Structure 1
Amino acid sequence: MDLLSVPTVLQNAAILTVILALSGYFITSLSAHMLARRRDKLDLVNKRINEFYGPLYVASEAGNIAYRSLLKRQGKEKSDPILDSEMAEWILWMTTIFTPLNDIREKVIIENAHLIIEERMPQCLLDFVTHVVGYKAVLAKWANGDHVERRSTIGWPPEFDIYVKGSYAALKAEQSRLMHSATWRLYQRLRSRNRQ
């Protein structure tokens, strides 16, 4: 090796070292940024599930099961008009089962509306809250002994259950995808190493 070529080799090695260091820095920085974005997305999905769609889903499923059970008990297959002979049981189920479940859902919608997936409030959620408000007037009349009205004047929005079930399922799928991606698993491994 020629003595004149030694500085060139050293310069090339230094340049290569700097390039590798910068490349490593950018890759690490990009990876950290991607992991932070994924973590933020997962945090939002978890919050939406835990504070909005999860409680709506559970309360809705429980309400649907209870309503089908009441219909079966009455020997009905669909929501027929409530007969005078069924009124006492209807009031009991409305006040002890359906109204508490409706109150839970109404509170979730009103207090956590910022967690909805869409940019605008879905109409079925507004229709549901309106339905519940309508029942509050009916319940007040029942408390005063007036049983002429038997249901809310604002009907049950059938799209509500479809929306809640579909949104919950989509968020659970997104949660699973975010938690099981290769990048997320790497992040979790690195995080557990740093704790040790």
Structure 2
Amino acid sequence: MVEDDGKASRRLRVVAAVLVGAAVLLILSAVGHSASAPPAVAPAPSPGPGSGCERLPYRAAVRQVGAAIVFPEVSYAIDRTGDRPRIDLSGSYRGDLPEERRIAVITRPDPASYDSSPGHRPGDGHYYYQRELRVDREARCWSAVSFGGVYSGSAGLAWQVYFALVPADFGVTSVSARNHVDEGVLASLEILASFTVQT
């Protein structure tokens, strides 16, 4: 009988040790899991208008001029394969663009910069109409593809780029045959933003 009590006592101690060991493993497992599990995070807010716009390699420092339409992001790429660098622009905008109006891209080769020609000519300081922005009104995105140098060897110039609110027929009625925009015409336009692209 005493022998049976000793066996029972040993079994009880073994069972107790197994239960304590299992409890310790469960506790350690729970602690380890909570330490390695990522913290609960609120879902990111859904992207707002313009957040899905194409982003090109370089960012431009934009100077906002008008308040009607704002350009929070302007990015650009430069294709330097020829002797006339080509510039692509892309970005987002906020504000309402009236149906009968367009946003023109007008550029000016900075006279304080010099091209890569043998004579290192300075920028001529004239204003040139390049094109209208292609605008996606729903996504609040825009782009302007492949514009740039007005003459061979214009690599190296700094281009001042202006976004101007213009009538739909601006490219036909207000621009010369060489895409030149008279300073008087430019002064009559609502400039929305400007920035510089160094080629």
TM range (shorter): 0.3 to 0.5
- The normalised TM-score by structure 1 is 0.35
| More relative contact order, 1 or 2 (CA 8 Å, 6+ apart) | 1
